[in-house]
């Protein structure tokens, strides 16, 4: 088969070429000042990224995973705590919870691939009931032990099991971590309402949502903290690993700045036990330069998504992504659903088109989380989506010609599939007629 055109999934070189002179100047400044670990270039980026996100503070760190983990630690979430996490996300969201010593409680996704708000309250209630039952068993066991020793203590007070009530902190459940997956904001008003009802913190995983908006508010600015990844392939990507936490909480920001630098405010004077999670000076310089272009790049992503939507409308067996009302997605990924997803992916590959799967295995079915006891069927929406989703090429420099080529090949594959099904149906009809 002769490939007519090659379409990459991502093209960072195309993004770099127009700004390479600016990047060179920024990197040279780091070399000239020797500001390699943290320092003025990182501060420069922090000072422009905070207002971009509509927040007061940005704390630059080593990666998006660092950002998620540190935000949880900063909110004092740790051993014995549980955190509500969407089951349909990259593993870093749950990893951060686990690395704090807490336990992720998974929740299924909605039609926009984000956490289903209606199922969050149910998960809180279910988790609390399990905790209370476990606590009652422990208390009853202790009472029996004491009785056997002849010491009778207040059995009635120990074994009461009052359900969770609005306005009370669910003991053990400490936070919700919504993910703005693929660049689409989650339903933050309802999430914040639930958090307020149960006294929970909200940490936004905005690692794929730089500049995304929910009712005019930027992703990362709505909860207690927002976390970003600047992995090279992100909408705002560094030239290596980098991440950031944004917040309007000055006390939390001060704590996180200390934590990323071994717990020190002044060199060699350590107020808390911290970690080495500073952003590199090179990455701060690159990000400050690229941030100037992010709104323009986002506009082009949205235009590309609109063209995909128009060209794929009505194609049999294809479902294009939808935006939730009052939101503006930044289309970090353009994800369709397709009948015979694997067949379509192979066909596109044969025709020079790169694609991706985000993500092929929901978190509850990952071996790393097998100890939590979840089973196949527990999260049917995410499980069904994982078998059908396919990420198409998406980047600002993608051309109309490339998008049309991708959509032509998708339509071509679907027509071939429809023809095969029609032929098979005709053959079965003929066989049935022969038997009569």
Q: With bands split at pLDDT 50, 70 and 90, how would you rate the model's confidence at 201?
A: very high
Given a cut of 50, is residue 151 above it in pLDDT? no
- Spatial separation of the C-alpha atoms in residues 343 and 274, rounded to whole Å: 49
- The average pLDDT across 33-59 equals 97
- Residue 32's contacts (CB-CB under 8 Å, 6 or more residues apart) are none
- The average pLDDT across 288-312 equals 98
pLDDT tens column, 104-146: 999 999 999 999 999 998 998 887 666 565 566 566 666 566 6
pLDDT at 430: 55
CB-based contact 167:199 (threshold 8 Å)? yes
pTM of the entire predicted model? 0.89
Given a cut of 60, is residue 426 above it in pLDDT? no
- The average pLDDT across 305-323 equals 97
pLDDT at 168: 40
Greater confidence, 132 or 24?
A: 24
Given a cut of 50, is residue 161 above it in pLDDT? no
pLDDT at 152: 39
| CA-angle at 355, arms to 354 and 359, nearest 5° | 155
Given a cut of 80, is residue 75 above it in pLDDT? yes
Given a cut of 50, is residue 155 above it in pLDDT? no
Q: What is the DSSP letter of 355?
A: -
pLDDT at 427: 57
Query: In 198-333, at which residue ranges do the beta strands (DSSP E only) sit?
Result: 201-205, 213-214, 217-218, 225-229, 243-247, 264-266, 269-270, 318-319, 327-328
Phi then psi for 15, rounded to 5 degrees? -75, -35
Other C-beta atoms closer than 10 Å to the C-beta of 186 total 32
pLDDT at 138: 63
**3-state DSSP assignment of residue 26:** helix
Q: Which of 132, 76, 65 is nearest to 101 (CA)?
A: 76
CB-based contact 42:230 (threshold 8 Å)? no
- Spatial separation of the C-alpha atoms in residues 27 and 281, rounded to whole Å: 9
Per the prediction, the chain carries an average pLDDT of 91
- The average pLDDT across 172-181 equals 95
Q: What is the DSSP letter of 356?
A: B
């Amino acid at each position: 088969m002769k490939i007519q055109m090659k379409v990459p999934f991502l093209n960072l070189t195309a993004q770099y070429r127009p700004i390479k002179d600016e990047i060179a100047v920024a990197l040279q400044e780091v070399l000239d000042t020797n500001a390699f670990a943290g320092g003025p270039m990182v501060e420069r980026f922090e000072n422009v990224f905070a207002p971009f996100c509509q927040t007061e503070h940005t704390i630059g760190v080593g990666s998006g995973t660092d950002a998620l983990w540190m935000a949880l630690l900063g909110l004092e979430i740790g051993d014995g705590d549980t955190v509500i996490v969407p089951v349909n996300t990259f593993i870093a969201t749950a990893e951060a919870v686990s690395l704090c010593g807490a336990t992720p409680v998974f929740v299924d996704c909605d039609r926009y691939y984000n956490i289903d708000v209606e199922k969050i309250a149910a998960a809180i209630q279910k988790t609390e009931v399990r905790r209370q039952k476990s606590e009652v068993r422990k208390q009853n066991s202790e009472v029996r032990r004491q009785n056997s020793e002849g010491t009778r203590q207040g059995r009635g007070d120990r074994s009461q099991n009052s359900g969770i009530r609005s306005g009370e902190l669910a003991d053990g459940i400490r936070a919700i971590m919504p993910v703005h997956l693929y660049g689409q904001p989650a339903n933050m008003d309802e999430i914040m309402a639930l958090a307020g009802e149960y006294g929970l913190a909200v940490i936004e995983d905005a690692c794929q949502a730089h500049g995304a908006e929910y009712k005019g508010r930027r992703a990362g600015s709505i909860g207690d903290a927002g976390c970003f990844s600047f992995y090279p392939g992100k909408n705002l990507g560094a030239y290596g690993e980098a991440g950031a936490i944004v917040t309007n909480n000055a006390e939390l920001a001060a704590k996180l700045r200390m934590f990323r630098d071994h717990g020190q405010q002044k060199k060699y004077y350590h107020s808390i036990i911290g970690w080495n999670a500073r952003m590199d000076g090179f990455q701060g310089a690159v990000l400050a330069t690229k941030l100037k272009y992010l709104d323009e790049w986002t506009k082009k992503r949205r235009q590309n998504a609109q063209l995909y939507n128009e060209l794929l409308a009505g194609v049999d067996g294809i479902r294009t992504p939808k935006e939730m009302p009052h939101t503006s997605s930044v289309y970090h990924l353009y994800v369709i659903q397709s009948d015979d997803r694997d067949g379509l992916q192979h066909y596109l590959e044969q025709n020079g088109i790169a694609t991706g799967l985000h993500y092929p295995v929901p978190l509850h079915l990952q071996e790393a989380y097998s100890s939590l006891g979840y089973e196949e069927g527990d999260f049917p929406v995410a499980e069904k989506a994982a078998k059908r989703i396919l990420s198409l090429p998406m980047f600002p420099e993608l051309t109309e010609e490339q998008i049309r080529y991708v959509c032509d090949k998708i339509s071509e594959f679907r027509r071939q599939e429809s023809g095969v099904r029609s032929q098979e149906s005709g053959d079965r009809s003929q066989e049935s007629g022969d038997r009569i």
